[in-house]
Amino acid sequence: MQIPNTLSDPRPTSTSRLDTVPTTGGGAGAIAASPASPPVAGEGASEGASRPRGEPAIRTIAMPADANPAGDIFGGWLMAQMDLAAGNVAARRARSRCTTVAVDRITFLQPVHIGDEVSLHADIVKVGRSSLTVQVEAWRRSRDGEEQVKVTDARFVFVALDQGGRPRVVPPALGESY
């Protein structure tokens, strides 16, 4: 994997159509590619991914306060956004509060720049007795374009908590039984 030169603009140039999908709480929307959209560019994507995996969980704008002196967004800021997205999906599935207990891995593929729209998509990949493993992808879109580029992916592990803050059994998914 080549390390991108942060002084040049690595942004691709093709386009895709995006629709806004509202989310619960906070008033922020999330974006999802329209089924009629052309494929999203593969540059920056790993394992052949050309579309975000998982449901849209958060969409936000990278701001100057989140950047280093070179104008790239700090990885810690992006990781925090990914944790929020994964935690939201885990809590909805567990129907309770969840806490992050591990980040199995995180891979930074491309830089995020000030003003980029960052969309986070999350997908539950494993449910244990009290734990949930969530795959999260971060995709960026420059302010003046429509193409999405995968910039980061990670896997977070959560534990469902009861009202006293102790681990609890994750209930069956709606429509399932144990």
User: Using one digit for the tens of pLDDT, what is the confidence trace for 90-143?
Assistant: 999 999 999 999 999 999 999 999 999 999 999 999 999 999 999 999 999 998
Show me where the domains of the chain are located: 29-160
**Dist. CA 82–CA 74, nearest whole Å:** 13
Write the pLDDT tens digit of every residue in 15-25. 333 333 333 33
- Local structure of 157: helix, strand or coil: strand
Structure tokens at 145: 């374009």
Mean pLDDT of the chain: 78
**Dist. CA 18–CA 13, nearest whole Å:** 15
pTM tops 0.75: no
Closest residue by Cα to residue 138 from 155, 114, 125: 155
Q: Are 109 and 150 in contact (CB under 8 A)?
A: yes
**Dist. CA 144–CA 151, nearest whole Å:** 17
Structure tokens at 90: 């885990």
Fold (topology level) of 29-160 = Thiol Ester Dehydrase; Chain A (3.10.129)
